[in-house]
């Protein structure tokens, strides 16, 4: 007598009463990056960089001015206790944060699915836009040749100091950080969700006795 190949209390293979095995659990595997997504990221970078010109114009017009005065021998601050220099940095940072938040909102509304190229485009575009704004503000602002400017206006006449960023490194990061944080928050709150795995039928109960039906 030979032993049966089917283990005891187990249905034979291909039993129609036995439910199929559950499907494998699939993780949230990321889709491959397409050429279209790369182009979208490049477009976001270029548009953000160009928007830096608007930031530069706003900074140039809204930043408080530091006033200098000359006595014919040297150049001094007209108000040594003024906070205009700090206000210039604060104005740039606040404007950059606003530009980053708006850029993230526009990108999210245009493409809710998101993607790595878009996030990189927001970050790189924010840095380039900040650099352009800084360059435009300092170029079109008061001249950086303070001595020549003091000689041109004459002694005891107040004139504007060059527009500068004392915390330039931190100011350059305000736009990209705001853009990435806002985009991440919008994606987490309102982005598309992965569909839940379909439930499978539970296995039916089988009698373990010899007379199971």
**Tokens at 119, concatenated:** 């996030």
Q: How far apart are CA 4 and CA 24, in angstroms?
A: 30
* pLDDT, tens digit only, all 213 positions of the chain: 555 555 555 555 555 555 565 554 443 445 677 888 889 999 999 999 999 999 999 999 999 888 888 877 777 677 765 566 688 899 999 999 999 999 999 999 998 887 889 999 999 999 999 999 999 999 998 888 888 887 788 787 887 888 888 888 889 999 999 999 999 999 988 877 666 555 554 455 544 555 554
Q: Can you spell out the DSSP letters for 83-119? A: -HHHHHHHHHHHHHHHHHHHHHHHHHHH-TT--HHHH
């Amino acid at each position: 007598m030979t032993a049966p190949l089917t283990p005891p209390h187990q249905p034979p293979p291909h039993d129609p009463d036995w439910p199929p095995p559950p499907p494998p659990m699939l993780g949230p595997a990321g889709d491959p990056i397409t050429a279209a997504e790369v182009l979208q990221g490049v477009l976001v970078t270029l548009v953000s960089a160009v928007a830096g010109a608007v930031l530069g114009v706003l900074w140039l017009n809204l930043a408080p001015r530091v006033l200098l005065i000359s006595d014919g021998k040297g150049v001094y601050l007209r108000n040594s206790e003024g906070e205009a220099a700090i206000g210039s940095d604060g104005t740039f940072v606040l404007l950059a944060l606003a530009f980053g938040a708006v850029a993230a909102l526009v990108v999210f509304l245009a493409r809710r699915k998101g993607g790595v190229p878009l996030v990189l485009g927001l970050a790189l575009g924010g840095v380039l836009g900040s650099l352009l704004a800084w360059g435009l503000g300092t170029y079109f602002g008061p001249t950086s040749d303070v001595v020549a400017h003091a000689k041109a206006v004459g002694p005891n006449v107040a004139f504007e100091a060059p527009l500068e960023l004392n915390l330039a490194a931190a100011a350059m990061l305000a736009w990209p950080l705001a853009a990435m944080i806002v985009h991440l928050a919008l994606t987490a709150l309102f982005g598309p969700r992965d569909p839940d795995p379909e439930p499978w039928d539970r296995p039916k109960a089988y009698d373990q006795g010899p007379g199971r039906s």
